[in-house]
Chain A
């Protein structure tokens, strides 16, 4: 078991399978299908991200370096939270960019939906965690690879 300590941006306890992207998470490209279908389609539509493309993002525990791309990102995270198709958790190796932070705060404050968010887990976290691996997130921002 390997454990990593990060900052609990939105604290919470989550256990489940990791969905790993080595490249930045492009929120707009990834959720385009969800937007067009008004939340009926939850597969990742970012064709530039082979790690996530066509995987179901709803309820995922996303392990990513960073959020990239359009500044619609925070608004879209709030929107998918309102649709009930948000990821269960977002685990960042880097310090989460302002767009991601905005999104999970908007979801929390305005939609009463907690997307457990931990950032600053370090590069080694992303090097270690494997797609599909069971991970456990604790309230204090520690992440254990099981």
Chain B
């Protein structure tokens, strides 16, 4: 890799051993992909590790050394959601004891993040790109983000440029302020390897469409034809929500970091089919294919007919628009059922900044009146507690389904279940 004099100084240890190793890591990482150089970041990094897990000793050790050396990231960064919120996501004593084992160093870890340059105490969300949060890249910005759902959104919907940067590696990029130029930071790396032809009778559920695409193309770039016939050609708040949830499913069910949607996402609008590589294979998705995909999901509950104990909506975090929309959906469903409150503990998760804004609206009080709670946690971190993993949890999130024992149900089924209390 071609290095500047300043970068060479870091590599030679002129700024201390810890920064020498940090630079060495980034350079060897780039060399693996024949990166020609390091490029300056145009925006803050986003960290995937937001949890103080005692097992994660290597990261804590490195961060502690950085703090002792007075090192911070070049720009204030955001991080994934915090794991716990007992006020809105209750846990019994045994579960709390297990969480203590799991996230026993949470306070110390958060304190380290603050010292290393965390944006503020509300900077914990997987959807850092929401306007309310403010880590919103512009078209063409070069980034080094982790969090698969955020990376695929930044690349696809905003037209920014980030690889699926690993935990620790994104932090190192934030410290140096640079990242190796390869993969999704290059024009060539952003070309589509697959053509997806959408031939469904109606707009597919984003969580299922994303899942089908992710399973098929894995880490490749799909060019999706036909979404615009249902979604139009403008990135309205509702369309962005759809693409957010679809993208998260492509990234978790496969490893998609970038998709293009014809006539809709910025690069597809700009370059059209010129983005597609020669001889790209075609994957046709119709109603039968989506049904096949849904039917392939294993249900990991011990009792398939158990009453749901909790429902999670908002993985990735719900937007302001989605919080408003869900309020009206739950209200309407309760009204039709002649009920006042949901019968299943239901939690919508969202970004702290979005929740703060939502709390200023009348919709917040209306939502709380339905019995639904709003929390800033990551439901996946909730499910990582082995005691909670045994519970009958439902979700409309394909990402949560993929990484946990939560059972996927579509939006309508979820609403029906939490209103009526069971299958």
| Chain A residues proximal to chain B, CB less than 8 Å | 9, 24, 26, 28-29, 32, 34-36, 38-39, 47-48, 65-76, 78-79, 81-83, 94, 96-99, 101-103, 105-106, 109-111
Contacts and interface: CB of A to CB of B under 8 A. Distances in A.
A48 B57 contact: no
Given A28-B403, A79-B58, A102-B29, A68 B254 contact: yes
A102 B255 contact: no
Contact of A71 (B25, B55, B166, B386): B166
Q: Which of A28, A83, A102 has the most CB of B within 10 A?
A: A102
12 contacts: A34-B55, A36-B102, A47-B298, A69-B403, A70-B403, A72-B167, A73-B167, A75-B168, A78-B59, A83-B55, A105-B28, A109-B25
B405 A35 contact: no
Contacts of A110: 21, 25, 58, 62
Given A36-B101, A68-B218, A78-B168, 12 more contacts: A9-B32, A29-B402, A47-B298, A68-B254, A68-B255, A69-B148, A71-B48, A78-B58, A78-B59, A79-B57, A105-B25, A111-B58
Contact of A98 (B49, B166, B254, B298): B166
A46 B377 CA distance: 23
B3 to A, nearest CB: 17
Given A24-B255, A67-B255, A75-B56, A101 B167 contact: no
B147 interface: yes
B102 A75 contact: no
B227 to A, nearest CB: 23
B83 to A, nearest CB: 12
A71 B146 contact: yes
Given A66-B255, A70-B48, A71-B146, A35 B55 contact: yes
A57 B193 CA distance: 32
A97 to B, nearest CB: 6
B402 A71 contact: no
B252 A71 contact: no
A45 to B, nearest CB: 10
A76 B169 CA distance: 12
Nearest to A80: B55
Contact of A74 (B101, B167, B403): B167
Contact of A102 (B24, B151, B168, B254): B168
B164 interface: yes
Given A32-B384, A66-B219, A98-B33, A48 B402 contact: yes
A106 to B, nearest CB: 6
B53 interface: yes
B103 to A, nearest CB: 11
A82 B57 CA distance: 8
A74 B168 contact: yes
B218 A66 contact: yes
Nearest to B56: A79
Interface in B265-313: 298, 300
A28 B231 CA distance: 33
A65 B166 CA distance: 18
Contacts of A69: 148, 252, 255, 402-403
B55 A73 contact: no
Contacts of A28: 403
B207 interface: no
A101 B29 contact: yes
B186 to A, nearest CB: 13
B391 to A, nearest CB: 15
Given A98-B163, A99-B166, A79 B55 contact: yes
Contacts of B59: 75, 78-79
A66 B166 CA distance: 15
Interface string B384-413: 101000000000000000110100000000
Contacts of B76: none
Given A28-B403, A71-B146, A75-B59, A109 B24 contact: yes
A23 to B, nearest CB: 9
Contact of B28 (A35, A48, A66, A109): A109
